[in-house]
Amino acid sequence: MKLQTLVVATGNPGKVAEMETYLAGYVERLELKPAELEIEETGTTFLENARLKASQVALALNQWAIADDSGLTVAALNGAPGLHSARYGSTDQERIKKLLGALGDNPERRGAFICALALARPDGEIACQSEGVCEGEILKAPMGTGGFGYDSIFWAPSQQMSFAQMPAALKRQVSHRGDAFRKLLAQWPTEPRD
């Protein structure tokens, strides 16, 4: 089934542009949710938050909606920053500095990027959902200039480079978001039922 319009439950235009790449062939047009439509993220997991955002935006607008909730978990920090990844500081540089400060010289540097996706029908019912994970390590200092967020300190052992050093096409293949989208598209609804 190809959707005419799909509302992305985010205020971030960059996320819409990124999703367009994954959803080519499945959606005619992606739209940003209206700025005044605020959804409080009260879930205790990435998947709960993605479901909540997709469902509430779909219901409010009576349109198909998709939501993504993602973040970085660090083993030595008991899973922090986790659900608070985007609010761990006010800029990417601040968040990275705070995370590296919290880790210090700890030799335990395992981390994982997690991405949860949920697609909701216009009546708010979740049509499909998925979660993708990319395991890696937290570097002691940023490497690379691409990407955003924590990309410059996230080392992907399988590629022997940080997310910020990867070409965009490679990052889409190996990232948590790429994993989540592959799983979601495998369950994509075949009929609209709206």
Report all structural domains of the chain as residue ranges with CATH numbers, in order of start. Answer: 3-185 (3.90.950.10)
Which of these is catalytic: 68, 69, 151, 179? 69
Is 179 a catalytic site residue?
A: no
C-alpha torsion 103→104→108→110, nearest 10: 40
Give the per-residue pLDDT at 193.
58
- Rounded to the nearest integer, the mean pLDDT of the chain is 94
Q: Are 107 and 180 in contact (CB under 8 A)?
A: no
Condensed to tens digits (0 to 9), the pLDDT of residues 3-30 reads 999 999 988 887 888 899 999 999 999 9
| Res. 87: pLDDT tops 80 | yes
Instruction: Say yes or no to pLDDT of 172 above 70.
Output: yes
pLDDT at 56 over 60: yes
Closest CA to 100 of 119, 127, 74: 74
Beta strand spans in 80-187 (E): 110-120, 126-138, 154-156, 161-162
Return the closest-CA partner of residue 112 out of 68, 173, 175. 175
Which has the minimum average pLDDT: 14-28, 66-80, 85-99? 14-28
Tokens (6 digits) for 124: 């708010």
Q: Which pLDDT score, from 0 to 100, does residue 191 have?
A: 75
